[in-house]
Amino acid sequence: MNPPRQAPPVPPAEALTPPLKPLGKVLAVTSGKGGVGKTFVSANLAAALAKRGHKVLVLDADLGLANLDVVLNLYPKITLHDVFTGKAKLEEAIVRAPGGFSVLLAGSGMVEYSRLTPNVRDDFLRIMTGLLPHYDIVLLDTGAGISDVVLFAVSLASEVLVVATPEPTSLTDAYATIKVLVGEQKRRTLRMVINQTARMGDGRAITSQLQQVLDRFVVGKSDDKVRLVHLGDIPGDVSVRQAVMRRQLLMLTTPGCQAALAISQLAGKIEDTMITPAR
């Protein structure tokens, strides 16, 4: 939970293999469309996992337009930007979030990193490789869209969580994202969370609808199927809006509300698949 005491060993760039094999224990949270609650889900999921006793790190992988700091109301002096530019050590940039987990924030100076250059990629990979041994799970809060930075960040993760809302625009963008991840990264299992659902069962219906379109249009011809795993719904809840406006974590303000309970369940499922898989 705490930032690592000693400096994490950062291997030299040339010692690293290209990021073709995803790193274990890394969950990328992505969405396609912006404004669907991706960062909200990342932060509260991290709090729920921390509450279950895990060492969790949330990494702001939305390098160009980060807003994890806004969601958490954290404005540290030292950010990932200072690590990238060599002004600070990695452990100095890791801060403790209110929910009992660690965060590595991108910082406002990261606009120059919104393009994926080989340097940005190497820096990012070095930081990830150095941090991994110190945590039970790392959440990558990616940016909106299907930019090269988003695709790169997702390529590092062993599991992908796609956040969508029931709105048609969000579903279309989530579908486009899934298509690209299937095509470019050969992803075959993706996990879905439907945020802001109006009633029970909506999320499952939406996921199965997405699954039908994938089966028909994406790799339907072969037996090499893509599988969407419906991980859960987060019901629309006034407490969510209140927590977001106050820039507080829902898991701390109203841990008993419907949405918070849904996130706790989600954390349980992620724990089962990624941290303590069935022995």
Partner 1 sequence: MPDPATDATLYLQSVVDKLSELSLKDPLTGLSNRRYFQNVLEREIEMVTRSGEPALLLMLDIDHFKHVNDTHGHPVGDVVLQAVAQALSDAVRPMDTVARFGGEEFVIMLPNCQGHYGSQVAERLREAVSKLSLALAGGDQLKVTISIGGAYAPRWVRSTPELWLERADVELYRAKSEGRNRVCIEPQPILAVSAEEKNLLFGPLALGDPAWIESIANDSSAQGFASASSNLN
**Which residues contact partner 1 (rule: CB under 8 A)?**
18-20, 116-118, 121, 146, 148, 151-152, 155, 165-168, 171-172, 175-176, 179-180, 182-185, 196-202, 205, 209-210, 212-213, 216-217, 235-239, 257-258
Torsion of Cα atoms, 99 then 40 then 175 then 173, to 10°: -150
Please state the closest distance from residue 174 (CB atom) to partner 1, in A.
10
Q: Which is nearer to partner 1, 18 or 277 (CB)?
A: 18
- Alpha-carbon distance of 251 to 243, in angstroms, equals 9
* Nearest-angstrom CA–CA distance, 248 and 47: 11
Q: Which is nearer to partner 1, 31 or 102 (CB)?
A: 31
CB of 25 to partner 1, least distance (A): 20
Would you say 27 and 272 are in contact if contact means Cβ atoms under 8 Å apart? no
Q: Which is nearer to partner 1, 102 or 155 (CB)?
A: 155
Minimum distance between the CB of residue 245 and partner 1, rounded to whole angstroms?
A: 15
Nearer Cβ to partner 1, position 85 or 119?
119
List of long-range contacts for 5-12, beta carbons under 8 Å, 24+ apart: 6/91, 7/89, 7/90, 7/91, 8/90, 8/91, 8/130, 8/131, 8/133, 8/134, 9/130, 10/90, 10/126, 10/127, 10/129, 10/130, 11/126, 11/129, 11/130
Q: How far is the CB of 278 from partner 1 (least distance, A)?
A: 30
Q: Give the CA-trace dihedral at 66, 136, 94, 28, to 10 degrees.
A: -10
Between CA 170 and CA 246 the distance in angstroms is: 25
State whether residue 247 is helix, strand or coil: coil
φ, ψ at 75 (rounded to 5°)? -130, 70
Nearer to partner 1, 11 or 133 (CB): 11
Closest to partner 1 by CB, 101 vs 152, is 152
The torsion defined by the Cα of 256, 258, 261 and 262, in degrees rounded to 10, comes to -170
Q: Are 160 and 187 in contact (CB under 8 A)?
A: yes
CB-nearer residue toward partner 1: 4 or 19: 19
The minimum distance between CB 204 and partner 1, in angstroms, equals 12
> CB of residue 177 vs partner 1: minimum separation in angstroms?
10
Q: What minimum distance in Å lies between the beta carbon of 197 and partner 1?
A: 6
CB nearer to partner 1: pick between 242 and 273 = 242
The token duo for 2 is 């705490």
Q: Which residues pair with 189 in a beta bridge?
A: 227
CB of 239 to partner 1, least distance (A): 7
